[in-house]
A and B are shown apart, each in its own frame.
Chain A
Amino acid sequence: MVKENGNSDQHGRTLSLRLRVWRQNRGQPGHFEEHFLAAVPETASFLEMMDMLNEQLIREGKDTFAFDHDCREGICGMCSMTINGMPHGPLPGVTTCQLHMRNFRDGETITVEPWRARAFPVLKDLAVDRSAFDKVIQSGGFITVRTGSAPEANHTLVPKQVADEAMDAAECIGCGACVASCKNGSAMLFVGAKINHLNILPQGQPERERRTLAMVKTMDEAGFGNCTNYGECQAHCPKSITLDVIAKLNRDYLRARVKEFFSSTGKPSKGGE
């Protein structure tokens, strides 16, 4: 599969690429722009390759491509490119910044697009507005704690299994690949991960029902689609969050609805005694 081209230097193999990159200004229609980039080391990350492309564009006196990035260590959730139709590219379980060019062939055409979803409007080129996720978190992705001196460490006991399960859900970095990969533009893997993270811990219990209802309501209002159990989100999630979190979100939502519907009014009804 890998083709040697003899252009080896200290980085090993290098690649020549034909890149089709999305160009768009906010609120205007976008289009693909084609660029050729040579001598890309196979050890470069995908974002470093994009840096090389931008440097080439600067040398040519052209506009660079805007794209999101921050830590470049796979933990911040900022990078967000759809590479050949796959959010975060062809390698499962990694973010774009941790995807290296050795996973591509010399001479390959690579199509780079932003996340595509109504709830994530394009800001510029490959950067999209993911503040819909912030709104979901603001509506219930928190617990209420007493501030001040540090609490006694063993005050609230958390069974190991529960802590592990919460940690698995908390691995979500909120990048939005689940929405971008979902054929319905649904955010349920993200919301499921955030709700599970807090709903299964003892610290999350006081606001459990309120949190679930509020976060689902905000998710719906932001214009995300509805889950129809395709499973694409799990297959594209750079943190390999599983559909378990959606099953548990469904269960918690049903529970919260029933509890809300039959909540005590505290007073006898007018027709009563």
Chain B
Amino acid sequence: MPESSCSPCCQPASIGKKIIMALTGLVLAGFVLGHMSGNLLMFKGPQAINAYAEWLHSHPGALWIARFILILSVIGHIWTGILLTLENRAARAGGPAIDATRRASISSRTMPYSGIVILAFLGFHLLHYTFRKVALGGKDFGEDVYAMVVFGFSSPAVSVFYIVSMLLLCLHLSHGVSSVFQTLGLRNERWRGRVDLIATAYGWIIALGFISIPLAVLLGCIK
């Protein structure tokens, strides 16, 4: 057995933390794709999305397993992210008086900030459409998810917050998805450009898919 000074769970090595970040990020990146695909049923009309919501709720066991994995991933991702950010700030010791950047992308340098906004968004989004406590005017929509979403996005302020958050998610994913490959050792100079392209495309597909719904409600395409 390893004779590590401390148990790997409380103080994982640098690369251990990277791997936790990558695997939890992978779960979350996969989740947003599933979530976004489901949301697009809004364009098929009230029956489609309401039937989908009913189907999800008719499998409480599977739903709770998925939720459990997601909650664990969110906690792991945030906890490791905070650890990494604090350790890295300390290791840099202030940095040079003039800090030139040759290659690091905007997305890579803003990961903690885009992450914090996405977390705030997640909190609002859960209160909004999952617990139905805010920004719904105290109405009871019951099983009618379609009507709830249309009502929720008819407020421009709420829609703009959703759209801005999704653009930040795009930024977060464009660095995060390509980093998953690097951290798991599945990248080389030949594949670097392609993987970065795949990650950017993935970020945009997710963001535009999500944004299409509040935008459609605001423009009156979905009523």
Contact = CB atoms under 8 A, between A and B. Distances in A.
Interface string A64-85: 0000000000000000001011
B93 A250 contact: no
Interface string B74-86: 0000000000100
Given A250-B183, A260-B2, A223 B104 contact: no
Contacts of B130: none
B27 interface: no
Interface string A196-235: 0000000000000000000011011001111111111011
Given A85-B100, A217-B13, A225 B179 contact: no
Interface residues of B, number: 44
A236 to B, nearest CB: 6
A229 B90 contact: no
B113 to A, nearest CB: 13
Given A226-B18, A247-B185, A250-B185, A117 B96 contact: no
Contact of B95 (A116, A220, A257, A261): A116
B91 A185 contact: yes
A3 B100 CA distance: 24
Contact of A247 (B92, B108, B186): B186
Most buried by A among B16, B109, B182, B184: B182
B15 A253 contact: yes
Contact of A116 (B2, B14, B92, B175): B92
A251 interface: yes
Interface in B12-35: 13-19
Nearest to B83: A226
Interface stretch (B41-49, B135-143, B159-167, B187-195): B187-195
B87 interface: yes
A142 B183 CA distance: 25
Contacts of A32: 97
A249 B15 contact: yes
B104 to A, nearest CB: 4
Contact of A251 (B1, B16, B178, B185): B185
Interface residues of A, number: 54
B96 A254 contact: no
Most buried by A among B17, B104, B184: B104
B101 interface: yes
Given A184-B92, A186-B88, A220-B14, A229 B186 contact: no
Interface string A179-191: 0111111101000
Given A85-B98, A227-B14, A117 B183 contact: no
List of 7 A-B pairs having minimum Cβ-Cβ separation, nearest first: A251-B185, A225-B91, A85-B100, A185-B91, A85-B98, A184-B88, A230-B104
Interface of A: 32, 82, 84-86, 92, 111, 113, 116-119, 180-186, 188, 216-217, 219-220, 223-232, 234-236, 242-244, 246-254, 257, 260-261, 263, 265
